[in-house]
A and B are shown apart, each in its own frame.
Chain A
Amino acid sequence: MSSGLVADMDTGSPSTSRAPLVQAQGVSKLFPTDGHSKVHAVVDVSLDIGHAETVAVVGESGCGKSTLANLIIRLHEPDEGTILLEGTDITHMGPRKLRPLRRAMQIIFQDPFASLDPRVRVGDAVGEPLKIQGLAKGAELEERVAQLFELVGLERWHLKNYPHQFSGGQRQRICIARALSLNPKLVIADEAVSALDVSVQAQVMNLMLGLQNEFGLSYLFISHDLAVVERIAHRVAVMYLGQIVELGSREQVFRNPTHSYTQRLLDAVPIADPRQRRERPLITGEIPSPVWAPGTGPEIVIHAEVEPGHFVAVE
């Protein structure tokens, strides 16, 4: 029923001319807990990502946004549903068959220090995907890595250094260089700018936007920061307890938030302008648990298309 959540002709997204790059259809993922209960991390989610499009997934801790990213890039295997990459079903594909397809999808994580091996020179780290995929070696590999460093605003002499010799922003640039080494079509950025200082965050976002213009990259941008998302996304999906409660173009979701949770989320964002201060009611509610006993589970939402390309869970 939520299969209507696809890139639409009228959303202004650049994905209209071809079939979507990635299609997630009715995807679910459950994780076991200590007992017999299960965490319903992602519940019947359908989402398309077009070519050269940035789709942002927003929501609070535990809403399933990272699990969704990991399902799409096949770090997790879905329990239900299908994942299509350029029309190829990769839902249950094994690691060997998946390897060549992984060139098309890369991921950048939140903590660039945890993502880099402290004992590997950063030049080697960036070259490793090319080696594993057997795409380059020797002088050609070195030259390609040097080009990648220049692309993300680092210097050639940085290649021989270790991760601890770089700042957080530089490390994230290294992770971006590594993600780009295989000329991917989709880069998943899982809170990739959240740990950075605001000035560095802006620089890394500018870099990501520039790379998108240059190479036609698609981004799946996972974030809890709505102000950042408003800046970078073409389309926005709002997740709550494992399900998408609202999906639309950036303009639709930010200017006409229709689901009560989207409204609550937007109301809570502090606005960096003291002249726009708002009185807020003192609320105390917290998000319920996504853990369900065997045989029970969340009610699956039904979406209504409130305007072309703008889908909202019926409340």
Chain B
Amino acid sequence: MPLLSVSDLTVTFDDFTAIDSVGFAIDARETLAVVGESGSGKSVTALSIMRLVELGTRAKITSGRIDFEMADGSVVDLRTLSEPQMQGIRGNHISMVFQEPLTSLNPVYPVGEQIAEALRIHEGINKKASLARARDMFDLVRIPEAEKRIGQYPHEMSGGMRQRIMIAIALCCGPRLLIADEPTTALDVTIQAQILGLIKQLQVETGTAVMLITHDMGVVAEVADRVVVMNKARVVEQGDVDQIFHSPQDPYTQALLSAVPRLGSMAGKDAPEPFHLAGSLE
């Protein structure tokens, strides 16, 4: 039984179908990458799992199941839960990290307090205990000088440090699934490497499964166990990361991979070279 099993999931915004009969599964401790270009439906898929997609929008989940295995082994279809029930799932069992940490954090509270707040809401512990736990989370996400940093405001931190805070908030209640939507897209490449390494290491330490949404095939190749490729609202191909990169079956996957610049692919060549684009990208 997988940790999360999505089947036949369809979401519409009025007449527009944002995702169409999407299905895939994530096993415990696994990293599943969902890749695709702008508008392919990958973020809508994530927001649907969190049941955030219908909040304040005209979106509607029109079909499908989102089966999630709870810690006690029971399986619930998240689509059938009420909003108060979902609030018990979010943060505690499934957490989410977004692309831009500055818009995800509250600018007027110190970052330590924002971790502590999540702990107080979800675990009902008091202020003192929550701040002590927040302090421990700084160590978990490897933020140096925790004593000094805990009282800082988001604007006083770099993008990489802010994303570490977001990861700390996401992981502080020990979720079994972390959904990361383009978590390193806004970061510099050396900081990206740090954050991806951190997520990987925390996955080993905490056993959290990760659903990584990204447009970056380099990031996918680097961290994913399995890959779901989306195009125009549909899952066009899914499989083991090695199979997707080395024997892609779907024409779109093949075209996408032909457009990816690969570091080292130009070795020994004198002059710049155009991409030899496959199929539909010609």
Contacts and interface: CB of A to CB of B under 8 A. Distances in A.
Max count, chain B CB within 10 A of own CB: residue among A206, A273, A275: A273
Given A198-B217, A198-B256, A199-B255, A268 B190 contact: yes
A272 interface: yes
B190 to A, nearest CB: 4
A54 B270 CA distance: 13
Interface string B38-56: 1000000000000000000
Which bracket fits the contact residues of A?
Answer: 35 or more
A1 to B, nearest CB: 28
B38 A197 contact: yes
Interface stretch (B78-86, B93-101, B112-120, B194-202): B194-202
Contact of A231 (B193, B221, B266): B266
A280 B217 contact: no
B88 to A, nearest CB: 33
A282 B120 CA distance: 30
A207 to B, nearest CB: 9
Nearest to B246: A275
Interface string B180-194: 000000001111111
Interface centre among A201, A233, A266, A269 (most CB of B within 10 A): A269
B63 interface: no
Interface of B: 37-38, 142, 144, 158-161, 188-194, 196-198, 201, 215-222, 224, 241-242, 245-246, 255-275, 277, 281
Given A206-B275, A269-B189, A286-B160, 4 more contacts: A197-B215, A202-B275, A209-B274, A270-B192
Q: Which 5 A-B pairs have the closest CB atoms?
A: A270-B218, A202-B259, A268-B193, A227-B261, A197-B37
Interface of A: 12, 54, 60-61, 168, 197-203, 205-206, 209-210, 212, 224-228, 230-234, 250-251, 254-255, 264-277, 280, 282-284, 286-287
